[in-house]
Structure 1
Amino acid sequence: MKLLKKLLLINWHYIEHELIEFTGINFLTGKNASGKSTIIDALQLLVLGDTSGNFFNKAANDYSQRTLKGYLRGEIADDGGTGFIYLRNGIFSSYIVAEFYDTIKKKPFCFGVVFDVYREDKPTHRFFLLEQPIPEHQFIIDNTPMDYQTLRNHFNSTGKTKYQFFDTNKSYRTAFRGKMGGLNEKFFNLFKKAVPFSPIMDIEKFICDFVCDVSSRIDITDMQDNIRHYKQLEQEVGYVKERIERLTDISSKFKDFDTEQKRLQKQHYLMQRARLQDAEDKITELKEKVKQNNEAIAKLLSQVAEKEEEIKQLENKKTELLEEKFQSDLYKKIERLEKQLADLIEQQKQLDKLRHELAKLMTKTGASWKRALKVYYKEIASPDSADHFSLLQYAASYLSAIKADDLISHKIEQELKREQLQQIRSQMKDFQNKAHELFFAVNTRLKKATQQATELEKVIANLKKGIKPYDGKLLELRLEIQNQLKAQYNQDSPVEIFCELIDLRDKKWQNSIEGYLHTQKFYLIVPPECFVSALKIYDQLKFEREFYDIGLVDIGKLQELNPRVEKGSLAEEVITDNPYARVYADYLLGRVMKCEQVEDLRSHRTSVTPTGMLYHNFTARQINPQRWKTPYIGKQALKKQLEIKEKEFVELTQEIKAIEVRFDILEGLKEVEPLAEDSINHITGSLRQLQAYPDLVRERRQIEETIKGLDLSYLDKLDQAIAQVDKQKKEVAKICEQLKTKKIVAENENKNIIEEKIPQQERERDNLRQKIEENYTAEWIQETGEPRFLKELQKRGSPDKITKAFHSQLERTRSQAEKKWRELVSVRSDYNRDYKMSYDINIPENTPFDEELKELRDTHLADYEAKIKDAREKAQKQFQEDFISKLKQNIDTVKGQITELNDALKSVAFGRESYRFEVKPNPNYKKFYDMITDTMLLEGFNLFSQAFQAKHRDAIDELFKQIVDVGEGDLTADERAELEKNIEKFTDYRTYLNFDLISKDESGQESRLSKTISKKSGGETQTPFYISVLASFVRVYRIQEISRRRQSKTLRLIVFDEAFSKMDHQRIQESIKLLRNLGLQAVICAPTEKIADITPLVDRTLCVTRGNESTVVRAFDPKILEDEDELPGEHHQSAAR
């Protein structure tokens, strides 16, 4: 076996240099924080080959934050910030070295690790194996631990030292397991879990992971591939059969389509052939029509010539009658009178037009001025100005009422002379000037009011923000003084406005104080020590920036003056916390006395009433209310200012609206045009022309009476004769035109027939004939098409009747053929899509599909069926041999291992209890377990024999389904993840078994740890954990095998930190006894409270003590301690080593 003999620690936390010796059962104790876990962590790091630090101090705290850097540098406290205080801050090296002894080879050897630490850089390390004891120099030369390179050089320099450095932690762990007897990987997890001694909450998982030494997973990749291949072949033969079925359906649908297509071809020929015959018949009819039209045209030409001669004779007769009429004296007299009458009528029309236009002009002018004056007097003019434009009002009313008939009277000319019109024009211009004058005045006020409203809005907005409307120059000067004082004194110096520093006690005196102070309330106040500097700044800028009439108060001088405040003065009403404002208020108001009644004012040199009546220097005067209209003093001043300004804004807004109304009215009034000089000339001139209107009317009536008195019977008879000739001529001309029209119609019809209809029919005939020749073979036409057409023609009598008879049949057949074609194309397209084929789905024949159907039916199907049979047999054999047999082997192995452990535990009694491990079938998977372990498989049956299938078919089928991903390509990501989960579960022997730890008391009563673990006390919980861990180490260290072979090659070390902390003395005694019985070497860590219970039972006690900045370990053996009891006190220290 391999036993731990020594542990060397150099520069490890509080340990500077310590060599600790071990024997069989070792007890490591000491007070809390003495450094016990420090030693345990060092031993763990070396055994596990793990430098991450994840396991440090886990027995004390699951969330421990100890780090490798903290152990190496010796972390002792934090620095109050984000860093730490360390014992070691320079460049140094640290060592952890364990010396083991091989009891078979009788040789010591060492495993160790050297750390090189470089200030703030990450420490570097190398694990090593040394085939000799720890050297005498213990890796220290000249009082300095060797770094890695020095150590390597030192080993090389001796020439005899057999050693090995490891490049990685992994290679070190592999070497460690090999050197310690070929331990498996479970050793590291078990060792790490045992150290903190935390109770087991999942007993099944612990037994499987640490007690049983069997691979939990069976690789079924090859078996899956074979089964998948077999299933794939089954899918493929189904795939072939499906394709055969689909191709058979395609062939059937092609035959249906072909039948309809042939019927359609025959009907289509009949329709085309009937149209061809119809075209030929129409050509014959058109030629006959041309012949008939030519005969009609010749007859019409003769009739037209006769009518034209008759018209000529009537025209000669009319000429004779007109000459007789025009040569008569009566006709000439009437012609002269009618000409005079026409001239008079034209003159009257011109004068009518003139008088209507003039009346329109005058009424329009009068109406516009009437409206303007009405608006003016209603909205603009003052009541006392009603007669100012009286003439204009009368003229506007007069003009607006004028009618066209009024303008032909002599009275109108008298009323509208040029002088009167000039007076009206003058008043119009006066009115226009007045409107302009008022418009510009209103416009000016509107602009001013709008600007005031804008400024008021800004003031209101600032007041709402808490900004009072101070004069801009006051604020500019205040800012300049502030900035320059800050630059001079390198700190902010207050520059305040006096009114902002004070408030008033009684608001009754607000107006009087505001009015009395007037501009003084806006004076600037600076600290006394800054006055001279502020004054210089003021003086420097006064002209450049126009800073005038702004007061700067000399507070220092006022403080020296110490002004007196009279009782009853206005100063009593001023409240302020600012001493500078106080002294200035006292100076200004301390002698201004308050008087409720004016008659009391004379009682004081300076006094004032609440209403602002001021008495000063023996003179009384009323302070202008404008001084207090806008209040600036007091907390309520801002609110009151806001109320005042908002009221002003409302009033100003109302005023603007009223002004805008006047503005719009005046803007319209100033645009009303007065009578122009040209208009006056036009009116007077037109009136003069209209004076001739009555004479003109009278002359017209006289001529009309003369014409009416003439005897016109002779002329009437001539006119009647002329009218009769015109009537006859018109009738003959009409007949002539009708004949000409008929001739033209016949000629045009012939032209249309010859040039258009016959060529069109010939083209249609030729086109139909060509289509028939293209679509049908001569043989088919001769044998099938033409005989059928002649039969139908004889039966129905005409091509048109054939067309009518077969039109609806053709559409039905075409619809049926198209339907059959769509069905065919659809199944062809589906076939191409589903089977990734590229056949032309629109070809009229079915050749490629029929050829593939023949090949699949005659060749592929038979090949697949033969392959399926062979693949099935291989898959069945592999499923039984590679999966079921191995799974059964794992289950049998686990049962055997549990039996061996139980044999070892039979003779071990833990107090009044004994323990054994139990393994039995998992009831949830019992049907699978029964199938896997069925003895029929040992009696020559296989999984797929009829008898075995009859017994376990459901289990086999379900197991196949769970672990074989048939159709893997179609699995979704979730389905694939579920499959992998099932494979992991069903190939793991643990799925089919349940594990437990059974305890039996002296009365034979048994209890299962899985049922009672959550109900037991601390000690009761630690005991089964202890048994399980020891059993696991027996398994990992292969102690049972070794005892049978009389060999002892493996490590025996087990480490418990804070072990037995919750066990009573009896349980501790039994635990240590069990360690000895199992042949294990142990390092047990516990606090000093357990010394009395543990020390008498162990081979060595290691006591850890810590001074201020160092930790030391002292060893005490029970035999030595017994001897020391008989020695004098001074010899006790020598017994410790």
Structure 2
Amino acid sequence: MSQAKKIFTRMCLNNWGGINHKVLEFNEYVNLFSGKSGSGKSTVMDAIQVILYGSFSPSFLNKAADDAKNRRSVLSYLRGEQKDGSANRGNCDFCSVIALEIEDTGTHITTCVGIAFEVRRNDSEIKKFSYFSHSGKMPEPGYITEEGFCYSNQDIKKLVNERAVSKDNRGKGDVNRIYASKEAYLGTLYDVILGYIDPNRFITMEKSAIALKMTNGTGQFIRDYMFPKSTSDTIETISEQLDAYRQIKEKIEDMRKRIDLLTDVKETGQELVTLQTDMIRAESFIRCIDIEDLRAKIEAAEEDKKRIEEEQAQLQQQADTLAEERGEVEQELIRVSADLKASDLGNKQQQLEELEQRSRMLIDNSRQWRKIVQGLKQWEEDEVITDYISNPVLNLIETIENGNVTEENCQDLHLKIESAKQDIENEFEDYSEQKRETGKELKEKQKLVDDMKNNRKSYSENLRSARSSLERKLSDRYGRTIKVQILADLFDVADEEWKNAIEGRMGRLKFSLITEPKFAHDAAAVFREMKQFEEVDLINSKAIADSEPRAMENSLYEAVETKEAYVDVCLKRYLGHIIKCHSVEELEQVKDGVTPDCYSYSNFIFRHLRKKDYTTNACIGEKVSKARLAEYEADVERLEKQYHELHYMTERLKAARDFESLKEESKYYVNLSGAEKELGKVNKKKTALEETIRTLKEGEYKELQQKEQSLKQQMRELQASISENQGQMSEKIRRHENLSGANDQRRLQLEEMLQGYVPNEEISQEVQEQLKKRSGQSLKNQKNAELAALSAGEQEKAETLRTARNRYIFAYPSSQFNGSEKSNEAYEKLLEEYQTDYEPAYEAEFEKQCDFIYKSLRENVIATIHGDIKAAKRHAYEINRLLRETNFSDSTYQIKIEPAKNENGQFFEMLMAEELDSKNLDNAGFDGQLSFGEDTFYQKYEQKIKLLTDKFMPPRDEDEQVRAKKRQEMEQYADYRNYLSFSMFEQVTDEQGNVIRENFVDDMAGRDSGGEGQNPKYVALLAGFAMLYMQQSNRDSKIKLVLLDEAFSKMDQERSAVCLKYARKMDLQLIVCVPDERLQSLIRNVDCVYGFRRHQNQISMMHIDKGDYLKLMEGEHGQGEPETVK
């Protein structure tokens, strides 16, 4: 008789997905859901998971599908949302219940568990729900009221209260409850109802089973789900002991650290004293050199002062002689200069200078008059300007040019020229206006010709921009190119006689934008937002087409043609009512007409059509008219010639503004005209005066002049000699003063140096000996270099001492030191105390604590892990025995446990040592202490024991994150699985059954076919579930549920059958989802089959009779697939 267990017998789904109400019945072993993709299998599987996990997260829903495309949620299931956006319960308030019925096969006690929802039409999330459980079977007909409505939360509460006092309430624990929280619900579910199973492992394994995704490999799956973590309190036991061990260890380390730091302070201080002694001797040597050198400099300076005083006396005598000579030469120069001034030559030279100045002025005036005359000639010579000057003016200009310059003539000519300039300015304005108009027309015609030559219409940039912008926005809206046209481009004028009339009557309308009628509405909506295009029109082609306009006989519509039907309708609307006429009489007989010469009659009004509309703005037609192009080219040629002529005229008239017009006073021009005659008279006087001056200079005056120059030269030479003598005298005085000042400073400096100086006879003799061989500066440089090296060493050593002291102070801030002590005495005294008093006591206590920790580690950690590893190997043996009894097609699988292949594998040998297999009492009083080969064990694995001890050392940091991280690491090393490697392999045997090779599953991943790759994963999965349900307490029966979605997708019939038999052998209850094509290969090995179908967003589930199906497969009721699953 099989062991008692808990099985899922029924499931109720009310208002879930495409299901309004359905109750499914489950078999004790293999239950199969069959259907096409999207038929609703995952809908039921997700409802089971929601109940078992108590979670509304979408993370586990429909996991057999592509995660990237998975948009399902619990709320979407409740509303019954479909892929097309519709929902079965999208616009109403409703209640929903999903529940599972569980029966204990041993006691036959039945319990139900589920979740009830109340959903409002505007809810965007699940707000009102209740976790519930109750004793007994589901109420008939499955949580539906007598009125046919799903139970509300109030109905569920009433049912739970009724069951609490009914005879069905006979199980262990209170299960008739409405749970206040998810945690309370899951606590009762996994303990009382499901049989005390580990909820975390159960949920993780069930999620892994859905679509069977083992991303970390089979070995990791076996480790996590087949071999549970140890639950011993090893960490708590060893942590307290290690904390005490760490404290004494830290004391020892602290004492050693104090001694090391203080020893460093002592040695550094001694080295610093030695350097300071050497520096004092070097400084004394340099001071002695400075004193001797300063005395020598004072003596040398006194000798220099005596020599300078002698040179000063010589220079003073020379200065007196030069002063006497300069006085004699100066008296002689005064006499000669007076004789020169008494002569008449000076007056003559002054007169000559005045005549030269007058000559220069007259030359400038003569040049200015010639320029004025040349300017007046421009009025006569310019062929354009001459036409605007009268003959009297020209005669007056000629008179002035001939030299008849009077104030009256100048004034008269100025007035007449100003009058002529005003006439020229008026003419310039007229020509400029003509030039602007001609240029504007020329530019328009050139652009028109250029557009026509390139076979494009001369549309404005605003119109082109509006057309392209509207076309782009419509194309973006439709996802393809939508054409927007200009009306003038879509039809041609067939009768050339009426072309101008049609161009004129269409006017602005021909520039309107137009689309096909099916796009007219969207075009209007888009164009409404294009407010910047105020001058552009858009035709509603759909409205015109809907109005079905008709063309009148003999209308302008007959003179046009188009290829587009919707354009033809528009032409009927705009031209079909305008009658072609040739006279005023004909116009009077119609409501709307026009003649070929563009005389129009409409609304009882006669008018001439705008010429620009049928000339420059003419643009109707798919192609450019060659005749009109030739006409426009002739206009461009004519306008270019006209523009050049007007440009020439304006430039000549503009130049006349700068012609001479005698703007100054008339007297000024009269003076300028006589300058040339006066210049001849002045030049004649200047020549005569120059001859007189030359005669005077060649006589007595010349001799006096030469003597004056000679005396001035003597004065300059004497002055230079006197200046040089004074400079030399000043330099001697300055040097004498500098030497006196420098010596005064040296004497003061010497007095300061001698103050407090105690001569050292040994150093003095050495200095004197050295000074005989080399200079004082050289010797001083050598000693300064030695002192600099000693000073650098002293600073470095002082910094080293300061650093050594600070290291100690920073390490022990409670000490009485501040780092600035002048002596090391206090530090050395403390060092001596530590070395003689404290260190030996701490060492003895530490040895005792180390011995205690070793014994505790071996008893509480190593022995526990040792036992867990041996238990795991026994457990693996039992699983392998079960696997050997099941032949998976042509493969036999086994689980293998080996030492860890990472750094943790180094502990395996120690953890499995033979010395750990014997226990008894030792003399130290530790119960269960391992004593057999104890010393041998420690000596053999000393390094590994110390390394493992560090792994369990509790942190001293009070930070919660650090402690949690360390706690996690300690739990890892307390877990026996940390030192093992788990794997599964395929056993290959020879004909005699001997194992010849082991093919590890993870190594074969990617090489095997799909079925061979899936087979070992299902083996590990099912074995993992068996382990999950076996490793709980045997006092309570437990569920044996396994959920598989899209199962055995790559496995053949034989391998699938073996897996199902394997699951049955392990007493598991399976709920498996497969597509229809897999049903035929699996049905012989299943116990319950439901066929799923979806029609008009409704899911139907039909229970398939296995016997009838097999008979149909064998041909007893005809060939083909059973009707119930088609």
* TM surpasses 0.5: yes
1:171 aligns with 2:141: no
Take 1:1063 and 1:696, find their aligned partners in 2: how far apart are those partners?
136
Asked whether the equivalents of residues 199 and 1025 of structure 1 are also in contact (C-alpha less than 8 Å), the reply is no
Tell me the distance in 2 between the aligned counterparts of 1:574 and 1:1032.
Answer: 81
Relative to structure 1, the CA distance from residue 696 to residue 966 in structure 2 (aligned partners, 3 Å threshold; closer, same or farther) is same
Structure 2 equivalent of residue 548 of structure 1: none
**Equivalent residues of 1:304, 1:739 under 8 A apart:** no
Residues 706-725 of structure 1 correspond to what in structure 2 (within 5 A)?
Answer: none
Rounded to whole Å, the distance in 2 between the matches of 1:693 and 1:37 is 129
1:46 Cα shift? 3.2
Where 2:670 maps in the other structure, the secondary structure is helix
Aligned counterparts of 1:919 and 1:88: Cα–Cα separation in 2: 58
CA-based RMSD of the aligned residues comes to 7.5
Cα offset for 1:356? 3.9
The AA in structure 2 aligned to 1:116 is: E
- Measured in 1, the distance between the counterparts of 2:114 and 2:945 equals 54
Q: Deviations over 1:422-478 (max 9, x none)?
A: 8799889988987887677557645763575467657877998988699xxxxxxxx
Q: Which residue of 1 aligns with 2:776?
A: 806
Name the structure 2 match of 1:993. 981
Once the two structures are superposed, the pairs formed by residues 676-687 of structure 1 within 5 Å of their partners are: 676-681=666-671, 684=674
Residue 101 in 1 paired to residue 85 in 2?
no
Of the structure 1 ranges 234-243 and 902-911, higher mean CA displacement relative to structure 2 is found in 234-243
Question: Match for 1:587 among 581, 591, 597?
Answer: 581
2:912 corresponds to which residue?
Answer: 933
Q: Distance in 1 between matches of 2:831 and 2:146?
A: 94
Structure 1 residue aligned with 2:228, among 181, 189, 213?
Answer: 213
1:895 aligned residue: 873
Distance in 2 between the 1:499 and 1:1055 partners?
72
Q: Any idea what SS the aligned residue of 2:116 has?
A: strand
Measure, in 2, the Cα distance between the counterparts of 1:1091 and 1:1036: 29
Using the alignment, how far apart are the partners of 2:19 and 2:763 within structure 1?
Answer: 119
2:116 alignment partner AA: V
Q: Structure 1 residue 366: deviation in Å?
A: 1.9
Q: Does 1:69 align with 2:75?
A: yes
* 1:183 equivalent in alignment to 2:197: yes
* Counterpart Cα distance in 2 of 1:706 and 1:1106: 144
Q: Distance in 1 between matches of 2:697 and 2:1078?
A: 164
Q: State how far apart, in whole Å, the 1-side matches of 2:886 and 2:487 are.
A: 102
Structure 2 residue aligned with 1:1004: 993
* Contact 2:9–2:102 (Cα < 8 Å) also in 1: yes
Structure 2 residue aligned with 1:1051, among 1023, 1034, 1039? 1039
18-27 or 431-440: which moved more?
Answer: 431-440
CA shift digits 1:1052-1074 (9 cap, x unpaired): 44556676788888777766665
- Cα gap change, 1:1051/1:265 in structure 2, threshold over 3 Å: closer, same or farther? same
- Letter in structure 2 aligned against 1:996: M
SS at match of 1:778: coil
Equivalent-residue separation in structure 2 for 1:214 and 1:677 (angstroms): 129
What's the secondary structure of 2:993's corresponding residue? coil
Task: Map 1:526-537 to 2 at 5 A.
Answer: none
1:1034 aligns with 2:1030: no
Specify the code of the residue in structure 1 equivalent to 2:132.
F
2:756 corresponds to 1:768: no
- Work out whether residues 1019 and 1062 of structure 1, in 8 Å CA contact, stay in contact via their aligned partners in 2: yes
> Relative to 1, partners in 2 of residues 1:93 and 1:832: Cα closer, same or farther, differing over 3 Å?
farther
Amino acid at match of 1:940: G
TM-aligned CA deviation for residue 84 of structure 1: 1.1
Structure 1: gaps spanning 5 or more residues:
397-414, 471-496, 527-557, 593-605, 609-624, 797-801, 840-844, 1123-1137
Q: Equivalents in 2 of 1:697, 1:1016: separation in Å?
A: 131
Q: AA paired with 1:114?
A: A
Q: Deviations over 1:1088-1108 (max 9, x none)?
A: 999999888888778989999
For 1:318 and 1:820, the matched residues in 2 are separated by 77
- 1:741-774: CA deviations, max 9, x gaps? 999998x8999799x669835752465146526x
Shift of 1:897: 1.3
Give distance in 2, aligned partners of 1:1103 and 1:831.
89
* Residue 192 of structure 1, CA deviation: 1.7
Alpha-carbon shift at residue 286 of structure 1 (Å): 6.1
Q: Which amino acid aligns with 2:1028?
A: V
Q: What's the offset of the Cα at 1:896?
A: 1.8
The answer to whether structure 1 residue 353 and structure 2 residue 334 are counterparts is no
1:208-287, aligned counterparts within 5 Å?
A: 208-215=223-230, 255=274, 259=278, 262-271=281-290, 274-275=293-294, 278-279=297-298
Partner of 1:614: none
Query: How far has the Cα of 1:194 moved from its partner?
Result: 8.0
Corresponding residue for 2:435? 449
- CA shift in 2, pair 1:207/1:467, >3 Å: same
Tell me the distance in 1 between the aligned counterparts of 2:1055 and 2:375. Answer: 126
List per-residue Cα deviations over 1:352-372 (Å, max 9, x = no partner): 432342133213432564488
Q: Secondary structure at the match of 2:758?
A: helix
For residue 897 of structure 1, give the secondary structure of its aligned residue in structure 2. Answer: helix
Give, in angstroms, the shift of residue 898 of structure 1: 0.7
Letter in 1 for 2:874: G
- 2:162 is the alignment partner of 1:192: no
Q: Deviation at 1:993?
A: 2.0
Q: Which residue of 2 aligns with 1:125?
A: 129
The SS at the match of 1:892 is: helix
Query: Aligned partners of 1:182, 1:908: CA distance in 2, in Å?
Result: 29
Return the TM-score normalized by structure 1.
0.61
One-letter amino acid of the counterpart of residue 90, structure 1: D
Asked if structure 2 preserves the Cα contact closer than 8 Å seen for 1:211 and 1:1031, the reply is: yes
* Aligned mates of 1:1115, 1:692 — CA distance in 2: 146
CA–CA distance in structure 1, aligned partners of residues 146 and 35 of structure 2: 34
Q: Secondary structure at the match of 2:775?
A: helix
Amino acid at match of 1:809: L
| Structure-to-structure mapping, 1:325-724, within 5 angstroms | 339=344, 346-347=350-351, 349-366=353-370, 369-370=373-374, 377=381, 441=427, 445=431, 449=435, 453=439, 562=554, 578=571, 586-587=580-581, 632=618, 635=621, 636=624, 662=652, 666=656, 668-670=658-660, 676-681=666-671, 684=674
Pair 499,591 (structure 1): closer, same or farther in 2 beyond 3 Å: farther
Equivalent positions of 1:776-855 (< 5 A) are 778-781=756-759, 805-822=775-792, 825=795
Residue of structure 1 in register with 2:897 after alignment: 919
Contact 1:366 1:395 in 2 (8 A): no
For residues 829 and 120 of structure 1, the distance between their equivalents in structure 2, rounded to whole angstroms, comes to 77
Corresponding residue for 2:518? Answer: none
Q: In 2, Cα distance between the equivalents of 1:25 and 1:350?
A: 144
Aligned pairs for 1:9-20 (under 5 A) are: 9=12, 11-13=14-16
Code of the residue aligned with 2:363 in structure 1: it is A
Give the match's secondary structure for 2:88: strand
State the aligned residue count.
Answer: 950
Q: Is the 8 A contact 1:76 1:84 kept in 2?
A: yes
> Using the alignment, how far apart are the partners of 2:886 and 2:580 within structure 1?
107
Distance 2:78 2:120 in 1: 11
Deviation digits for residues 916-936 of structure 1, max 9, x if unmatched?
A: 433344667776644553446
Tell me, yes or no, if the aligned pair for 1:1096 and 1:1118 is still in contact at 8 Å. no
d(CA) in 2 for partners of 1:440, 1:48: 102
Percent identical among aligned pairs is 15
Question: Contact conserved, 2:30 with 2:1072, CA < 8 A, in 1?
Answer: yes
Q: 1:583 to 1:45 in 2, by over 3 A?
A: closer
Structure 1 residues 996 and 368 mapped into 2: Cα distance closer, same or farther (>3 Å)?
A: same
Partner Cα distance (1:699, 1:61) in 2 = 124
1:96 is displaced (CA, Å) by 1.1
CA shift for structure 1 position 1051: 3.2
